[in-house]
Structure 1
Amino acid sequence: MDTYLPHAGYVQFPRGPQDFSPTVCPACFTPRTAAVCPTCHLDLAHPSVAQLDAASAEASAALDRRLELIGRIRFETAQPVAPVAAPAPPAPAPAAAAPTTVSAPVAAPPAPPRRHLGVQVILLIVGVSLLAVGAVFFLVYAFITFGLVWRSIIIGAVTIAAFVGATLLRRRRLAATAEAIAALAVVFVYLDAFAIRANDLFGAEDADGLVYWGAALVVSSAGFALWHRLSGLRLPDIVAAAAFAPGLALLVGGLTDGLDDGVRVFAALLALGAGTLVHPLLGAYRVERIVLLALGLLGLVTASFAALFVRLDIDWAPLVTYGLVVVVAGAHVAVLLRQGARPVLPVVFAAFGGVVAASGMFAVGARIGEPVTAVPVVAAAVVALVLESVARRTHAPAAVAAAWSAAGVAGVAVAVVGGTKLVASIGVAARGAQRWSLRGGEPLEVTTTEVVASAALLAVLVIAAVAWLVGGTLAARRLALGSGLLGILVLSVPLLPQLWLAVLAWLVLGAVAVVLLVVGRSWARGARIALLATGAVSLALAYSASWASIDTWWFGSVGTVALVVVARGATALIPVRAALLGLATVLGLVAIGSEAWHTNERFQEGARAGLEATHGVLLLAVVLLGLALLLARALSAAETRVLAWTSYGTALVKAAMSWLLADGAPGLVLPDYGASAVLAGLLVLALLAWALVPRTGFAPERLVASATLAPAVAWLLASLAHLVSLTADLAPVVAALAVAAVSLAVAGPRAARDIGVGIVVVPALVAAMLRADALTWLVLLLAAVAVLLTAVSRDGLFASASPRRHLGWAALGLGFLSLAWTLADRGVTDLEPYVLPLAGALLLVAAGAWRARRDSPVPPYLVLGALLVALVPLGAVSGTGSIVRPLVVAGASAALLLVGSVLRGSRYLDALAAAGAVGVLVAGLARPFALAIAGTADDVSLDAWVAGTALVVLLAAVAQSRSGGRARGIAAVAAVAATLVLCAVVELAVLRDTSLGTARALVALAVLAGLHIAGMLVRRAPFTPALAWLSYGLAVVVGVAGMVVGAVDPLEWGTGILAAALLVVGAVRLAREPQARSWVWLAPGILVLLVPSLVATFVDQPVWRLVGLGVACVALVLVGAVRKLQAPLILGAVVVLVHAVRTFSPQIVAVYQLTEWWVWAVVGGAIIIFVAVTFERRMRDLRSLGGRISALR
């Protein structure tokens, strides 16, 4: 490349010889603090930077020579020369038309990124902090050891050295280090102040503590500010800004020693806020100004709190103290505005001043008490309105902020007063929680506080109206006034003398709001929202309060329901109308339930009132459910759905409660079961109407009604059975059978009705099997018939193409279960006469189906079912008794499995293989499971059965996978996985701390680890990665269990096998794939090998483990270095370091305890500062080392 100038990018022109210094960036002159410039991102670690520094030095020398020549010329021509009149300049010749050149736009230099704390600065902070801690304890040590003269000399010398060192470092442009040493000097200065008082120099010990330290802070801040001006260091200026105002506060607190404590605290805090007014003297530094203003704001805030406790014997004292705080805050605003500060700063102080000004009367009110409780609210509102008027005239941000803050205080005050009124209203409404416990003429307690609160709210409203009228803004804010007036009316209702008047007043307000909403549908949105809130709150309070008395409940409930229905006419929005209809429905259901409860209490003295209320609600819900269907043409779809779903959900819940609670006792009209039968019949009719009457647009409702039909019929049959004193155990399955039969014959959404059949059948089966009585087999048989009817389609069962035909297998299973239940109930153990004929019958059915249609897929499934019927029951009972039966069944199953796996090409062979697999697992593991459950852990035959079963399944899986078909491969892997899990469960159950238990654990670990290796390397069914990781997971479980019970001891036997499996796989993959990384393939095995042993060394340290772990780590480091592998190198190094620290920790602690701890703090701080100073070189070394490590695999 000819030139690199186009790539120079962002470069500043040198401003002087100092910009050529090697301590700054050559491009932007930012101090070098990192390997890459944080401002312009120039790589300062590039090899060419040395040449660039040399070129900068040459340029600096050339500029110096140039300045020398300029100086020589000026010196030699310094003699006064008479001025000579200059001739008039000639008229310029007309310039020739220069050709216009279009140049490419110059890219703007990139904006410098935000500055942040670098690593070097953090290191300096830590180092200086450690040195400061060491200095404090060295000062204590000097006080104890040396006399006054030497103490003073040491302290003064160290302080002067810090000042001089920081100044010199700053002049050499080592800014970061200089600021760090300056921080140390600041610490020394205040240590010196402490030492002066402690040594009683100049009689300092006799001075008051607050006065001394206040003067020390004020004087030191002045000195630090002067040091900043002379040296250019920033930290002294920041410390000066932070120390002046607190020093002034302490000084004021000390000088007011004779006054009251509250006055002293307030004066000191006010001085803290006022002392920060000196911030214009600090120049334009942002940090110092922010520190001072933050301290000032903190002082004013705390002073406003302290003002509450000044002269508690004078009621009006807070007006003076709060006034002083407002004056100081105003002074801050004025100074900031005059200085042209950022707008946010005067806004903050103005907002605070507004808050304090509006809050003054609250402190006075707290001292005086009840007579003036309303005055602070009104006063806050007046202040807010006055400030609003000022802000409206000036439009100044500070005035606007003060107005808004005062308005916030007034708003909070009004909200608190309104909240007390709301609490009082809720208190009246909460009386309805004790249902019908009061009289309608119950008097309401009205206190002076409530009356004063209402008067205060009304006064604020009137004053605001007058102020806005004078200011010309009343028309724009009439909505706020109207809303406030409505709120006052609603919240003032509890001032009425009796309960029925309050309920009636709220109903009237709600009615007026509803009527206005209906009439004013075209009114502005704000007005309608205010009316809506008024109506909703009024009706809610009226409805809640009406429950307190039976005299008010009826018109409160009826009125609320009627008004909610009428309110539907106030809007054309369908969702809102539907929501209101739903609310009216819920309130109506609650009302009818309450009426039923009250009627029962009146005529039956509360006996079974809950069930009567349930029946009443259910009756209305069923009626409304039918009414929703009848009114579907008059209502919108959304309203119909809301009415239907609300009624349906209520009916469903109440029907379940009635079914569970009814016990046949006599009710108000009918016995419980009679009432249940009537209600169930009505519910069935309503559901039939929804399910069978065709209506477009209500498909979900029809489906749900169809799905609920079977449970409703079951309830009806159960109620009728109870009514005629018959058992109701068969009612659910009989109902399911009836609905399934009707569903087969009637058109409609059959799938939904089938779901209802399932909802009834499944709980009935579970309940029957849990009861285990004489009718269980009949329940199973009837359920099988119901499922069989569900499986039949209009085109039959075997010839059907519908997916429901597969339910025939469930029906077959239920029928077989019914048979098995009967045999078990009668104690039959010789199952061959029962299961073999049934299996033969199924085989004959399969043969007939095959002859009828040879290409039908049904016969193979029938063959599979026949074989399972024969093998599974016989295998399940083979766990005990003679060994002949399990051998015969397992042998036959193994033969079927192997024949069906080796010979392929027919579905019948697949059926043989599937049945054989199930039979091998059941028959082969039945006896091991029986031995494990019996606790027989020393029987080797258990391991023989487990090994034989696993071997047969593995051989069959290999044979199945030879065809290469995906389905066969999945089946093979699934069979092997299931076998491994079952065998692992058996082995875990008999794992003991014996030699046989150790052998079992190690053999199981070895086999599972081998399967993991095979699966990860072969990667072909049945040895797939999924099976490999399942095997490894089981191996981990076996290993952990063996360690817990003591069968695997020491633990390295288990971790060694587990790690070997991972390492073998990783080594082979690294050899096969050059792009493979050692972290993926070797790190897990290394961690399994090393980490458990490392953790074990913390509790048990035999010599062989310590030596072996160290040798293994060193070997891994060597292997990683020789074979260029990252994972062994890094993990071995880390583990060996941790191992060494743990092993030699007693010696390390002994070395640490040889001297005082603060000496180590000094040493550490010095080392950290040294590292920070040489940070760039250390980072280059680390990057070089990191590059070498990252080059490894």
Structure 2
Amino acid sequence: MTTTPPPAEELRLIDAELRALDARRAQLLARRAWLTQVLWAARTPAAASPTRTAGAGGEASAPDVQNVLLLLGGLLLGIASLVFTVVAWGSMGIGGRALVLGALTVVVLASPAPLLRRGLRATAEAMAGLGMTLTVLDAYALHRAVWPEAPATAYAAGACALLAAVWAGYGLLSRELRGPWPAAVAVAQFALPSAASEGSGELFVAALLTTAALDTAAALWLRSTPVRWAAAVGACVQAVPAVPLALWLTASAGGPGDAVPAALLLAFAAVTAAVAAWRLREGGTATALAVVAGVLAVAAAGGPVRPLLTAVWAVPVYLAGALLLLGAVRTPLPAVLRRGALWASGGVQGVALLWALPLPLVALAEPVARPALVHEGPALLVLAVVAAVLLVAGRDEVWRARGRRGASVLGAAALYALPTVFELPHEAGAAVRVLVVAGALEVARRTAGRGAWTAVVVALVVSGGTAVSVMSGRLAPLVVLPVLIALFTAFSLARRPLARAGLPAALVHAALLVCSVAALRDWEASTAGAVLLAVPAAAALLAARPWTGPATVAVEVTGAAVGVCALLLTVLDPPVLAVALALAGVITGTTALRADRRPVGYASGALFLLAAWVRLAAWEVTAPEAYALPVAVPMLVLGVVRRRRDAAVPSWSAYAPGLAAGLLPSLLAAWADAHATRPLLLGLAALAVTVAGAVRRLQAPLVLGGAVLVLDALHELAPYLVQALGALPRWAPPAAAGLLLLLLGTTYERRLRDARRAREALRRMG
């Protein structure tokens, strides 16, 4: 025994069968058109053969040529009819006018029937289009001749409605024609808007929305594909201006009485979009229509309420409507409507959040500037409400986790802005913000993953703004900053993986505390910089502790940054700068004692050297040896140690840097020195280096010492050489140069052997 399916299932089956029939009908019509073209081509073989025999291929098929000719013919006939109606109309009597146009219209509209029986579909469609064009001219002619006093808009509305009915009836009589029904839908678009064009704005928008609703119904429930497409396009064309106009009417309403009609129009548009989404069920178009329906519903709900409040509360009113829209998610509505309600509510909340975001930004900038915001209270409410929604929203664990992260950020922003909105005393505001930091760190301690890092970022931002805001006070920084240091230190001890953010934050707040104390005590900048080096020292001690773990690099980088700032503060006071550089050298030197930080020793040496140079400059010492020897001696000591540990180290690597640093500055100074003391001492030192290189058979000391010794000797002989050259005749130097070249030429082979022997001797040295 067969059972009757439920009504919903039976309706679904019927819709599926109807769609299949539409698709089959479209296939059959396409096949019929192709067969018609084939038969037409078979009937005219002789017309095509001359073209082929001429040697040139046709650029258009016969049906294409036929369609173009028919289109041109219809256009020309239509233009001729228009000219006749406009120009020649006045020269004929009323009977003649009606007889000519009426007879022509009837003949043209009747011509498609015999043409269709002969299989000339394209010609029939062209004649039908021409006939419908003539009916438009008939309507125009009647207005000019019979009812010239009738209002143009009212007559146009009636004519469009009548033409739509006539063309629809014509389509019913000639079912094989495709043009009349879409044409009827197109001309019907102008009926209601034309009738309401001279009325109020609400009436005109109502006409547009009513036409769009009728088009939507036709696009969703009619079977003819061309008609459905025409209706869909018409619905879009009518809705595009109607919805913004309705929104503008709602926004510009002076009171609830003016806002209610506009709100009803928005509600009508929302229902139309919702019905269309429900009918389509699936796909991007259905979802988009559902979202539009949700947004329009929110606008319709908030429209009458908004005029009752001040302008700054408009956004919270619409936000309340968006929250009410969330209730549709828990109803038995179709899935597409529930999905659209969810996205529409989220979109409205996002816009409200963007509107409220300037409030926490203003609160952060409050220590520097205090821009005025007229919507501080409503913005604070929006932040709190959206945070609460995110806290309870989420369809699964992933979305719930995201919602909690967003709620923590927005909640912290709202609490941070709370003292600004209510103009709390400075100390009370600082206390509230410190509590926000403590709460964020506690959340980070109890959660894991992205939630923990989100809470840490919130704590860092809030603490930074709080620290900057309290530094302008006298006692507040001495209380707030130590509390923040303690909070971040305790948090880092409790959550070691997150210490890479907590410990640097504690160090930064410690640096701000030093700066605050310096400002309160009216210290000089150089003194503050020297004291500020206590923070890098603390960072070095923390980094050396085993429990620091993954935060070691972050702590060291933070300490280095604070150290650079401290040195910059002492630049204008050279004596204090020298002390600060020495202290920085001690800090980096202790860091270099760790096995994994040996390269930091180079920085320590550089800092000590800079400290010595700055001290010498402060003492106004100008002798280059005072600057060069502190560099040369340690480098030579290091070279000796390297050679003792590894005899294979070349002397150029071990001794050349130190010897160059010690000898070359003195050599440059000796050439510009008019006294004999420096050249004499430099010559003795270069001689000692040369002898040591010869005794130890080392290339670098031998070559560098010898070169400096020769150059120093030349400096001493230079005045005598100048005198000797001045006493010689002018032909003597060229002659001496020529004799030298002859001597070298005659002894070239022997000199070359001597040079090779010297090179081999140097090569055999270390």
Under TM normalisation by the shorter chain, which class is it? 0.5 to 0.7
- Distance in 1, matches of 2:629 and 2:235, equals 85
Q: Does 1:581 align with 2:503?
A: yes
1:296 positional shift: 2.8
2:428 aligned partner = 501
Q: Which residue of 1 aligns with 2:541?
A: 627
- Aligned to 1:433, the other structure's residue is in SS state coil
Q: Is the 8 A contact 1:594 1:613 kept in 2?
A: no
CA gap 1:833/1:299 in 2 versus in 1, 3 angstroms? farther
Q: Measure how far apart 1:404 and its partner are.
A: 1.1
- Counting helix residues as a fraction of each chain, which structure ranks higher? 2
Q: Which amino acid aligns with 1:492?
A: L
* TM superposition shift of 1:289: 3.6
In the superposition, relative to structure 1, how do residues 721 and 398 fare at CA in structure 2: closer, same or farther (>3 Å)? same
1:623 alignment partner AA: A
Change (3 A) 1:231 1:562: same
* Matched position secondary structure for 1:283: coil
Distance 1:592 1:635 in 2: 26
1:357, distance to aligned residue in structure 2 (A):
1.9
Mapping of 1:383-532 within 5 angstroms?
A: 383-390=324-331, 393-394=332-333, 396-408=334-346, 411-412=349-350, 415=353, 420=356, 423-433=358-368, 489-494=415-420, 495=422, 497-515=424-442, 517-518=444-445, 520=446, 532=456
Preserved contact between residue 517 and residue 528 of structure 1 (Cα < 8 Å): yes
Q: Deviations over 1:924-961 (max 9, x none)?
A: xxxxxxxxxxxxxxxxxxxxxxxxxxxxxxxxxxxxxx
Once the two structures are superposed, residues 31-66 of structure 1 have per-residue CA deviations (whole angstroms, 9 ceiling, x without a partner) of xxxxxxxxxxxxxx9xxxx9xxxxxxxxxxxxxxxx
Q: 2-side partners of 1:381 and 1:331: how far apart?
A: 19
Q: Which residue of 2 aligns with 1:566?
A: 490
Q: Label 1:193 to 1:650 Cα distance change in 2 as closer, same or farther (>3 A).
A: farther
Q: What is the distance in 2 between the residues matched to 1:380 and 1:413?
A: 13
State the alpha-carbon separation in 2 of the partners of residues 720 and 515 from structure 1: 49
The change in CA–CA distance for 1:613 and 1:799 in structure 2 (over 3 A counts) is closer
Which of 560, 567, 590 aligns to 1:648? It is: 560
Shift of 1:317: 3.5
Q: State the 1:641 CA deviation.
A: 1.9
The Cα offsets for residues 528-563 of structure 1, whole Å up to 9 and x where unpaired, read as 578657645543443243234233233233322332
Decide whether aligned partners of structure 1 residues 353 and 564 sit closer, same or farther in structure 2, where only a CA change above 3 A counts. Answer: same
For 1:489-888, list aligned pairs within 5 A.
Answer: 489-494=415-420, 495=422, 497-515=424-442, 517-518=444-445, 520=446, 532=456, 535-536=459-460, 538-573=462-497, 576-599=498-521, 602=522, 609=525, 611-617=526-532, 619-620=533-534, 622-624=536-538, 626-627=540-541, 631-636=543-548, 638-652=550-564, 655=567, 658-659=570-571, 662=572, 672-691=573-592, 693=593, 695-698=594-597, 702-703=598-599, 706=602, 709-710=605-606, 712-713=607-608, 715-727=610-622, 737=632, 740-741=635-636, 744-747=639-642, 848=754, 850-851=756-757
**How many angstroms apart in 2 are the aligned matches of 1:509 and 1:538?**
7
Residue 335 of structure 1 and its aligned partner are, at CA, apart by 6.1
Per the alignment, do residues 798 and 388 of structure 1 end up closer, same or farther by CA in structure 2, a change over 3 Å counting? same
Residue-by-residue CA offset, 1:314-362 (whole Å, 9 max, x unaligned): 4244334323432344245446646x66555454333322212222354
Structure 2 CA distance for aligned equivalents of residues 327 and 207 of structure 1: 32
1:397 Cα shift?
1.8
Tell me if structure 1 keeps the 8 A contact 2:294–2:340. Answer: yes
Deviation at 1:724, TM superposition (A): 1.2
CA distance in 2, matches of 1:235, 1:733: 101
**1:186 and 1:491, CA in 2 relative to 1: closer, same or farther beyond 3 A?**
farther
Residues 1:305 and 2:253 aligned together:
no
Question: Is the 1:228–1:237 Cα contact (8 Å) retained in structure 2?
Answer: yes
8 Å CA contact 1:564, 1:581 repeated in 2:
yes
CA 1:732–1:14 in 2, change beyond 3 Å: closer, same or farther? Answer: farther
Alpha-carbon separation, structure 2, partners of 1:14 and 1:253? 40
* Greater relative contact order (CA < 8 Å, ≥ 6 in sequence): 1
Letter in 2 for 1:681: A
With the length of structure 2 as denominator, give the TM-score of the two structures: 0.62
* Structure 1 contact 428–545 (Cα < 8 Å) conserved: no
Distance in 1 separating the partners of 2:468 and 2:308: 37
Aligned with 2:256: secondary structure? coil
**Partner amino acid for 2:366?**
R
C-alpha displacement at 1:167, in angstroms?
11
CA distance in 2 between counterparts of 1:652 and 1:15 reads: 81
Residues 636 and 689 of structure 1, relative CA distance in 2, 3 Å threshold: same
Aligned equivalent of 1:1092: none
Match of 2:295 in 1: 355
1:273–1:299: 8 Å Cα contact kept in structure 2?
Answer: yes
Q: Is the 8 A contact 1:357 1:406 kept in 2?
A: no
Counterpart CA distance in 2 for 1:832 and 1:650 is: 67
- Following superposition, the deviation at residue 677 of structure 1 comes to 1.2
CA 835–380 in structure 1, closer or farther in 2 if over 3 Å, else same = farther
Distance 2:119 2:429 in 1: 85
Residue 296 (structure 1) aligned with residue 223 (structure 2) = no
Name the structure 2 match of 1:247: 190
| Distance (whole Å) between structure 2 residues aligned to residue 845 and residue 638 of structure 1 | 67
The corresponding residue for 1:32 is none
Query: Contact 1:326–1:357 at 8 Å: present in 2 too?
Result: yes
In the alignment, which residue of structure 1 is the partner of 2:45? none
Report if the CA contact (8 A) 2:489-2:506 is conserved. yes
Which moves more between the two structures, 263-272 or 498-507?
A: 263-272
Alignment partners' CA distance in 2, 1:832 and 1:647: 68
Q: Secondary structure at the match of 1:559?
A: helix
* SS of equivalent to 2:366: helix
Q: Flag structure 2 segments of 5+ consecutive residues without an equivalent.
A: 1-26, 42-51, 395-399
Q: Which residue is equivalent to 1:275? A: 214
Helix, strand or coil at the partner of 1:373: helix
Q: Which amino acid aligns with 1:246?
A: Q
User: Matched residues in 2 for 1:476 and 1:719: separation?
Assistant: 57
The 2-side partners of 1:145 and 1:305 are apart by 38
Q: Distance in 2 between matches of 1:552 and 1:477?
A: 36
- Which position in structure 1 is the counterpart of 2:5? none
Deviation at 1:219, TM superposition (A): 5.5
**Aligned counterparts of 1:430 and 1:345: Cα–Cα separation in 2:** 44
SS in 2 for 1:550: coil
CA separation of 1:486/1:218 partners in 2, compared to 1, >3 Å: closer, same or farther?
same
Change (3 A) 1:246 1:799: farther
SS of the aligned residue for 2:621 comes to coil
8 A contact 1:245–1:271 mirrored in 2: no
| Alpha-carbon contact 2:588-2:603 (below 8 Å) kept | no
Alpha carbons of structure 1 residues 281 and 452: separation in structure 2 relative to 1, 3 Å? closer
State the 1:247 CA deviation.
Answer: 1.2
Q: CA deviation at 1:732?
A: 7.6
Q: How many residues align?
A: 645
- Aligned AA (1:357): A
Shift in Å, 1:119: 11
- Quote how far apart the aligned CAs of 1:500 are: 0.7
Return the alpha-carbon distance in structure 1 between the equivalents of residues 604 and 435 of structure 2.
Answer: 43
CA RMSD of aligned residues (A): 6.7
Q: Distance in 1 between matches of 2:737 and 2:485?
A: 67
Q: Distance in 1 between matches of 2:84 and 2:28?
A: 55
1: CA distance between counterparts of 2:393 and 2:539? 57
1:373 to 309, 313, 321: 313
